[in-house]
């Protein structure tokens, strides 16, 4: 519990498992009490309100930029030598949603609660974030698209794939675009296949990818050491792109 309306005093520390604490305990954790709900709502709402204020300020600057960039275009050559002209896309604002996937399969979702995402087995903590983003015409960007559940330690009840699936479903229901990026710089087939699956899925709705944009992290010596694997990945991704975007530049977003 907590002292009056102060923060919880029994939430443990970074090295504690949920069942070793009073606040996150799976049977009688105080996160699931009137006090716990009060504190977690305050914590989560404070961060969402902060994001709302920041996006309000940023959006004003972006609107000013977009008003003059709409008159500009870029030229590039296709593989067959034909010259193409493409209008510069409007700048989109968005936020990163951290891939806090540890304890996702537990009832309290202790990792997410600690980070300010009031998401539990019985409560969606991302819907309010998505609705705030929709108000600004902003994008949600998930940061662990290369990870699979089977790669994580069993005791930590991780589920990066479950978290991504929840975000994809809620972004679709609210009506905002969901983008993604990898958390770790990996070039093995297992990770690259997972990024492809996260981007397009087994089945796509009206041929649209589940992720609207992908950022691949990051440009540096490791990328050039594994250039063949990275190039093959880009070719595969482009082959699966919807027809209407086939003329877009291939590598738009990576650092």
pLDDT digits (tens, 9 = 90+) for 46-83: 999 999 999 999 988 887 776 665 566 667 777 777 88
| Interatomic CA distance for residues 251 and 234, integer angstroms | 8
**Tokens in use for 99?**
């891939």
CB 239 within 8 A of CB 205: no
In Å, what is the CA distance from 199 to each residue of 72, 95, 122, 202?
29, 18, 27, 10
Eight-state DSSP code of residue 132: H
CA gap 223, 3 in Å, rounded: 51
User: Which residue's entry shows tokens 């510069």?
Assistant: 88
Q: Which two tokens stand for residue 121?
A: 């087995």
Q: Which tokens go with 196? A: 């492809």
pTM listed for this prediction: 0.82
Instruction: For Cα atoms 161, 164, 170, give the angle at the middle one, nearest 5 degrees.
Output: 140
pLDDT at 5: 65
Distances (CA, A) of 114 to 7, 18, 29, 102, 110: 12, 11, 14, 11, 6
- Residue segments in the chain with a per-residue pLDDT below the cut of 50: 203-204, 207, 244-255
Task: Give me the pLDDT at residue 153, please.
Answer: 94
Residue 88 has a pLDDT of 64
């Amino acid at each position: 519990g907590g002292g009056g309306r102060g923060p919880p005093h029994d939430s443990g520390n970074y090295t504690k498992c949920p069942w070793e604490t009073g606040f996150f305990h799976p049977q009688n954790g105080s996160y699931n009490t009137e006090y716990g709900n009060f504190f977690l709502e305050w914590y989560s709402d404070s961060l969402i309100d902060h994001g709302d204020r920041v996006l309000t300020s940023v959006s004003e600057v972006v609107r000013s930029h977009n008003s003059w960039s709409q008159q500009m275009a870029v030229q590039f050559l296709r593989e067959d030598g034909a010259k193409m002209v493409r209008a510069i896309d409007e700048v989109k604002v968005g936020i990163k949603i951290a891939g806090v996937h540890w304890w996702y399969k537990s009832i309290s979702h202790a990792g997410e609660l600690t980070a300010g995402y009031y998401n539990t087995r019985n409560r969606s903590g991302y819907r309010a974030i998505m609705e705030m983003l929709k108000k600004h015409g902003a994008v949600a960007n998930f940061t662990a698209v290369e990870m699979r559940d089977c790669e994580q330690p069993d005791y930590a009840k991780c589920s990066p794939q479950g978290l991504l699936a929840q975000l994809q479903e809620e972004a679709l229901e609210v009506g905002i675009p969901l983008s993604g990026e990898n958390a770790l710089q990996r070039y093995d087939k297992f990770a690259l296949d997972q990024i492809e699956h996260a981007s397009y899925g087994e089945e796509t709705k009206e041929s649209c990818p589940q992720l609207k944009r992908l950022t691949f992290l990051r440009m540096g010596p490791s990328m050039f050491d594994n250039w063949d694997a990275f190039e093959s990945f880009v070719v595969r991704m482009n082959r699966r792109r919807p027809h209407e975007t086939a003329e877009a530049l291939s590598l738009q977003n990576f650092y």
